[in-house]
Amino acid sequence: MTSKPAQTGKRAVPERTKRGTPATGKVTLNDVALLAGVDRSVVSRVINDDPRLSIRPDTRKRVLETIEKLGYRGNAAARSLRTARSHMIGLLIPDFANPVYAEIIKGAEAEAGNLGYGLMTASSEGVRQSVGHYVELFGQGRVDGLLLAGEESGREMEQLRALRVPWLQVNRRMGGTDRYVVLDDEHGSGLAVEHLVALGHRRIAHIAGPETADTARRRRMGYTEAMSRAGLTADPWLIIHADYTPAGGRAAMDELLAAPQRPTAVYVSNVASAVGVLHALHIAHVAVPDDMSVIAMHDMVLADHLVPALTTVRMPLGELGARAVRLMATCGPADPIAQVVTDPVEIVVRASTAPPCTDD
Amino acid sequence: MTSKPAQTGKRAVPERTKRGTPATGKVTLNDVALLAGVDRSVVSRVINDDPRLSIRPDTRKRVLETIEKLGYRGNAAARSLRTARSHMIGLLIPDFANPVYAEIIKGAEAEAGNLGYGLMTASSEGVRQSVGHYVELFGQGRVDGLLLAGEESGREMEQLRALRVPWLQVNRRMGGTDRYVVLDDEHGSGLAVEHLVALGHRRIAHIAGPETADTARRRRMGYTEAMSRAGLTADPWLIIHADYTPAGGRAAMDELLAAPQRPTAVYVSNVASAVGVLHALHIAHVAVPDDMSVIAMHDMVLADHLVPALTTVRMPLGELGARAVRLMATCGPADPIAQVVTDPVEIVVRASTAPPCTDD
DNA sequence: CTGAAAGCGCTTACAG
DNA sequence: CTGAAAGCGCTTACAG
């Protein structure tokens, strides 16, 4: 007679999961239930704080103690399979080397931890190199949601959409979507211009980001509007578009220095570009801030140690990352999300800005 | 009579996974099998290229086409649960703002992609803030292995060990372990010193990393040995320990400038510190490279744009990250791994090094 | 107050 | 050459 497989916990196991190897320490719900003398469904409900569970205090205590004693850790895969949620959030950034994203990641990571989520950060660059692209990484239910801080091409957005994973744009709003969270770039830009105006500058240039970038557009608008408010004209030759990189900033500054009428101050839309701007001025023997004031969007530790120390606009980048995670974790996949993080924006005055030379 | 649940694909499904909602597009192996007219085990084996499967070419073709047609993506949780592998690798770094780690992450990410793994990067900082610490993030079978590039405290290593996840130290070897992959820091340091010696410097200082850091120790050793080889003495006052941060480098340089006999050159063990070193020299009106040559460990885009552009030692940081992932993916959890990535180490000469002033 | 059962979507040894 | 079955470790509606 073929005996039915013996009861709970004694069922046949595939070779690779051999029991009796306590070294591996694979403790399951069943092990806990067996030792605590209850059903595994009870253990599960204790762990998940099921409000519909009524249980005697001492039974609960016994279960909890057994979990502790065996060092039980729930299996993420089993739980994901059952609940169809991974408790992971993906974050796609353009480049790990850009310190702006480091701030966003930090905020996102901390908030994810608080909400019991894991954060899986990848760079567009890295993903592009890999074989399966987004599919391997973010498809297959690996993440519950995807935060997009990168510059995805149309084809890439297509691929992402095919994954059918809820997504949210961070720090940009492309393609007329209603799923984004951004900073108040216009306001920040306005403050930068106002700082320079207050110092007495009138010919203020703007090294803007790439023309295609949404952030660049918003910062440029903030700049032109603040110029108008101050009764100054933002002549087209005062605005140069450049990549958000040191090399981009350097080239833009060179161009600005070659202009017929030199500005006395420049507002750079990105701190990475500003590094290149300072370098270009150094090479051209233009003294900062005596002959040229420089202020840049985004404050970083680095700014304090550049030569000279860089005046910046501090934006709540960490809060942006945190907010994005929170929204992703709490909103439905199709809820419209259109948020602007405004809170602490301030000018951090350092050595790179001063009144213009009087003999100008 | 209670009819047995109808066959494959028609079993009762829990409410949340309602079929007939093609919008959600939850396509399973069963759906593919049904449409292709084969068993789902066949589909599985086709997907996984099971060598023990013999199948008619046209059947295989039909299966593949159906997968394509339905846009089937395997469910990661189900696969993980069944195979007890997550195909995820965790990477723990100290700080996203440190550009050195950006390079390591990039290399690791690319290699993970090539091997079909996902990379889950977290910072020690961020993890410490979160509620469940490592357990939530890396426990529960979420990752197959853990790459440790951070500075974990003893208590944290304890926690990590309790997770029973295979781990590998990256860029450091702490606690007499035989699971690490590092760079040839000694060799790189030697090259830095040799570069300065070749320029004619004899009083060469070293701003070393934190005394507790393994990398700092190896770089300092490379420095002292190269000094000896050149017949120079590495006097104790020439060596200052500092954090791997701009602030650390700045304080160390200030200390060096206050010394009775000033060095003519300094080898800084980290590019972040070097930023602070250049700043300190600027403040003190010490001309670089005329009055002080500066060379730093680790090449970054930033180095090219500092004032002045910084001479560096380029180390294979990306390859370090890639190697770590490869080892983690291919080695057994207890195999001894003690590797040194030596390959392309070279001096990148920029504007911060020159022969010493002759009137010195 | 607690237990038994079904099933999430896969993989794999085995049967035919 | 292909199919049927068992089971990975959970959760949850339901029964008692």
CATH of the domain at A270: 3.40.50.2300
Tell me which nucleotides of strand C come within 7 A of a protein CB. Answer: 1-13
Helices (H), ranges, chain B: 29-36, 40-47, 57-70, 76-83, 99-114, 124-129, 133-138, 154-162, 185-199, 214-229, 246-257, 271-283, 317-330
Question: Residue B69: which domain range?
Answer: 26-74
Residue A347 phi, psi dihedral angles, 5° rounding: -85, 130
**pLDDT surpassing 90 at residue B182:** yes
Task: Verify cis geometry, omega within 30 degrees of 0, for the bond prior to A289.
Answer: yes
Neighbours of B230 (CB within 10 A): 18
Name the residue facing B305 among A80, A119, A250 (closest C-beta): A250
Structural domain contains residue A4: no
B residues 168-187 near A, CB within 8 Å? none
Q: Which of B70, B96, B163 has the most A C-beta neighbours within 10 Å, making it the best mutation to test the interface with A?
A: B96
Q: Identify the pLDDT of residue A150.
A: 78
Task: For residues B161 and B142, state if they share a domain.
Answer: yes
Minimum-distance residue to D13 (CA–C1'): B14
Q: What is the mean pLDDT of residues B283-293?
A: 96
B18-51: pLDDT as tens digits: 333 333 458 899 899 999 999 999 999 999 888 8
Q: How far is the CA of B79 from the C1' of C15 (A)?
A: 24
Instruction: Please tell me if residue B6 touches chain A, with a CB cutoff of 8 Å.
Output: no
Task: For residues B39 and B178, state if they share a domain.
Answer: no
B290-339: pLDDT as tens digits: 999 999 999 999 999 999 999 999 999 999 999 999 999 999 888 999 99
CA dihedral defined by A18, A22, A27, A31, rounded to 10 degrees? Answer: 90
Report which residue type is found at A203: R
Alpha carbon A199 to its chain's center: 34
Q: Which residues of A touch B73 (CB under 8 A)?
A: 135, 139-140, 163
Task: For residues A171 and A196, state if they share a domain.
Answer: no
Look at residues A41, A74, A107 and tell me which one is the last residue of a structural domain. A74
Name the residue facing A97 among B81, B250, B301 (closest C-beta): B301
B182-218 burial, b at 16+ Cβ within 10 Å, e below that, comes to bbbbbbbbbbbbebbbebebbbbbbbbbbeebbbbbb
A59: phi > 0 → left, psi -120 to 50 → alpha, else beta; which?
alpha
**pLDDT surpassing 90 at residue A9:** no
Task: For residues A149 and A94, state if they share a domain.
Answer: yes
Task: For residues A130 and A226, state if they share a domain.
Answer: no
Residue of chain B whose Cα is closest to the Cα of A118: B137
| Counted domains in chain A | 3
Q: Identify the pLDDT of residue B14.
A: 35
Task: For residues A140 and A237, state if they share a domain.
Answer: no
Asked if B114 and A135 come within 8 Å (Cβ–Cβ), the reply is no
- Confidence tier at A128 by pLDDT (50, 70, 90): low
Please state, rounded to an integer, the average pLDDT across all residues of chain A: 87
Name the residue facing B140 among A73, A96, A120 (closest C-beta): A73
- Give the residue among B186, B184, B230, B183 at the shortest CA–CA distance from B204: B230
Structural domain contains residue A147: yes
**The tokens of A356 are what?**
């213009």
Asked if A132 and B121 come within 8 Å (Cβ–Cβ), the reply is no
Name the residue facing A246 among B17, B73, B301 (closest C-beta): B301
Q: How far is A245 from chain B (nearest CA, A)?
A: 9
Instruction: Please tell me if residue A112 touches chain B, with a CB cutoff of 8 Å.
Output: yes
* Residue B147 near residue B108 (C-beta atoms within 8 A): yes
Alpha carbon B155 to its chain's center: 22
Instruction: Please tell me if residue A67 touches chain B, with a CB cutoff of 8 Å.
Output: no
**The tokens of A95 are what?**
């480049």
Q: Which of A103, A159, A307, A317 has the most B C-beta neighbours within 10 Å, making it the best mutation to test the interface with B?
A: A307
Minimum-distance residue to C8 (CA–C1'): A82
Task: For residues A63 and A144, state if they share a domain.
Answer: no
Task: For residues B50 and B194, state if they share a domain.
Answer: no
Structural domain contains residue B61: yes
- Specify the nucleotide whose C1' lies closest to residue A73 (CA): D9
**pLDDT surpassing 60 at residue A280:** yes
Q: Identify the pLDDT of residue B135.
A: 64
Q: Identify the pLDDT of residue B71.
A: 87
Q: Identify the pLDDT of residue A134.
A: 63
Give me the residue label for tokens 């202020």.
A295
Minimum-distance residue to C3 (CA–C1'): A39
**The tokens of B108 are what?**
């690791």
- Give the residue among A245, A242, A303 at the shortest CA–CA distance from A273: A245
Structural domain contains residue B194: yes
Task: For residues B238 and B264, state if they share a domain.
Answer: yes
Asked if A129 and B114 come within 8 Å (Cβ–Cβ), the reply is yes
Q: How far is A118 from chain B (nearest CA, A)?
A: 6
Asked if A140 and B25 come within 8 Å (Cβ–Cβ), the reply is no
B78 beta carbon to strand D: under 7 Å: yes
Q: What is the CATH number of the domain that holds B65?
A: 1.10.260.40
Task: For residues A110 and A177, state if they share a domain.
Answer: yes
Give the dihedral sign, CA A64/A69/A73/A75: negative
* DSSP string for residues in A108-120: HHHHHHHTT-EEE
Structural domain contains residue B30: yes
Q: How far is the CA of A341 from the C1' of C4 (A)?
A: 51
Structural domain contains residue A349: no
Q: Which residues of B touch A86 (CB under 8 A)?
A: 76-77
Structural domain contains residue A357: no
**pLDDT surpassing 80 at residue A175:** no
- Confidence tier at A15 by pLDDT (50, 70, 90): very low
**Strand partners of residue B297:** B313
A106 beta carbon to strand D: under 7 Å: no
Report which residue type is found at B316: P
Strand segments, DSSP code E, in A99-195 are 118-123, 145-148, 167-170, 179-183
Q: Which helix (H) or strand (E) holds A277?
A: helix A271-283
C-alpha to C-alpha distance for B47 and B50, rounded to whole angstroms: 8
Structural domain contains residue B268: yes
C-alpha to C-alpha distance for A39 and A45, rounded to whole angstroms: 10
Neighbours of A333 (CB within 10 A): 14
CA within 13 Å, CB half, B57: 0
Task: For residues B182 and B149, state if they share a domain.
Answer: yes
Q: Three-class SS of residue A348?
A: strand
- Confidence tier at A132 by pLDDT (50, 70, 90): low
Asked if A123 and B114 come within 8 Å (Cβ–Cβ), the reply is no
- Confidence tier at B203 by pLDDT (50, 70, 90): very high
Q: Identify the pLDDT of residue B19.
A: 34
Instruction: Please tell me if residue B329 touches chain A, with a CB cutoff of 8 Å.
Output: no
B residues 218-247 near A, CB within 8 Å? 245-247
Task: For residues B58 and B160, state if they share a domain.
Answer: no
